[in-house]
């Protein structure tokens, strides 16, 4: 999707707002997985998630495009919205964010703190997305989709950092929400001329991308009822699916219990907080441990934004249930 020059220019934009995030090989995690494992800590960005990178590059390119901008509007379950809100504040652009009812209380608070006008609508992300798109046309606002070339270019910078630091990885596990993260990883790998295998991860309760990957065409689902809100997708993006099918090895499905167990493993082995989507790659690597054998593996810990009551449930050995939507 991108040339190495494009990627390096995006890295400069991102590093103007934040330093590179670290990557560590944690001994206890290596013991747990039976191989050398490196974690890319995107839970340590200024919004606690990798999405910030995409927002920074998107807003910069939007302003340089010459388009008249009265404000931007988007839909999210949280991290994408925080990204656009923070980037909008840096660029002096008003931001409106739609979230579904029952969304993460703490992510909602964070988006408001970054300056976004927050509106709750619909039972899930896709209903909020449709409404935000309608309002964008009605009010003349610039709609920011969850998947866009500029967003992918921005988030690809985490992969550039990771591969530059640990360039001989056999495989990397990455969660798949709307697809920007995995597509950025594939694009950076290809731009750097590496042969690392990319493995996508989804929740069993939100399998739209796995179904689409297997079928070779977009397959929508009626629901995406997972507590790992970062992978709660019902309607995959065709452009993202095209990139994933060309560049990913496979997509692994993990259960809610497996995601919760991986969150506990991150906390006990590294003392890092991982939200559901952020822990999904570790859940998949653990699920495939015996089949993988000793390999040098990368895990993208995409974010650590999870509400405290939910994390209490996880640390207590449970699996969070989903809130009822009024």
Task: Spell out the domain ranges in the chain.
Answer: 4-49+149-315, 52-144
Name beta bridge partners: 300.
40
Tokens 């640990």 sit at which residue?
Answer: 166
38: left (phi over 0), alpha (psi -120 to 50) or beta: beta
Q: What pTM was computed for the model?
A: 0.94
The CATH fold of domain 52-144: Rossmann fold (3.40.50)
Domains 4-49+149-315 and 52-144 share a fold: yes
CA distance to 73, 100, 134, per residue, from 127 (Å): 15, 7, 11
**Which pLDDT score, from 0 to 100, does residue 325 have?**
42
Q: Give the 3-state secondary structure of residue 61.
A: helix
| Closest of 172, 146, 170 to residue 159, by C-alpha | 172
How does 138-156 read in b/e, with b if 16+ C-beta sit within 10 Å? eeebbbbbbbbbbbbbbbb
**Spans in the chain with pLDDT lower than 70:** 323-326
Q: Which CATH class is domain 4-49+149-315?
A: alpha beta
**Which pLDDT score, from 0 to 100, does residue 326 have?**
38
* Alpha helical stretches, state H, 140-237: 149-165, 180-191, 208-215
Q: Give the 3-state secondary structure of residue 162.
A: helix
CA separation for the pair 95, 116 (Å, rounded): 5
How does 6-44 read in b/e, with b if 16+ C-beta sit within 10 Å? ebeebbebbeebbebbebeebeebeebbebbbbbbbbbb
Q: pLDDT by residue (tens digit) across 15-53?
A: 999 999 999 999 999 999 999 999 999 999 999 999 999
> Rg of the Cα trace of the chain?
18
Tell me if 302 sits within 8 A of 42, measured CB to CB: yes
CA distance to 15, 84, 112, 146, 317, per residue, from 62 (Å): 18, 12, 22, 15, 45
């Amino acid at each position: 999707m991108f040339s190495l020059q494009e990627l390096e220019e995006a890295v400069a934009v991102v590093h103007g707002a934040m330093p590179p995030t670290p990557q560590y090989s944690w001994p206890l995690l290596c013991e747990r997985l039976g191989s050398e494992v490196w974690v890319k800590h995107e839970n340590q960005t200024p919004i606690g998630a990798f999405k910030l990178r995409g927002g920074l590059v998107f807003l910069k390119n939007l302003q340089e495009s010459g388009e008249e901008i009265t404000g931007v509007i988007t839909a999210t379950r949280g991290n994408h919205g925080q990204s656009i809100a923070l980037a909008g504040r840096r660029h002096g652009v008003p931001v409106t964010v739609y979230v579904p009812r029952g969304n993460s209380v703490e992510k909602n608070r964070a988006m408001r703190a970054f300056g976004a006008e927050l509106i709750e609508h619909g039972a899930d992300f896709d209903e909020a997305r449709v409404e935000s798109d309608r309002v964008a046309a009605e009010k003349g606002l610039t709609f920011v989709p969850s998947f866009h070339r500029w967003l992918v270019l921005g988030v690809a910078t985490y992969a550039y950092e990771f591969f530059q630091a640990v360039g001989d990885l056999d495989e990397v596990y990455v969660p798949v929400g709307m697809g920007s993260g995995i597509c950025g990883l594939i694009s950076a790998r290809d731009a750097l001329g590496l042969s690392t295998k990319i493995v996508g991860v989804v929740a069993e309760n939100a399998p739209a991308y796995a179904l689409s990957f297997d079928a070779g065409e977009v397959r929508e689902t009626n629901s995406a009822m997972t507590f790992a809100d970062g992978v709660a997708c019902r309607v995959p993006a065709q452009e993202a699916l095209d990139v994933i099918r060309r560049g990913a090895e496979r997509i692994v499905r993990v259960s809610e219990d497996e995601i919760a167990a991986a969150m506990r493993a991150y906390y006990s082995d590294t003392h890092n907080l991982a939200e559901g989507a952020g822990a999904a790659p570790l859940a998949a690597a653990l699920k495939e441990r015996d089949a993988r054998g000793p390999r040098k593996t990368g895990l993208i810990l995409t974010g650590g934004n999870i509400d405290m009551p939910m994390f209490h449930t996880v640390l207590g050995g449970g699996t969070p249930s989903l809130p009822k939507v009024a």
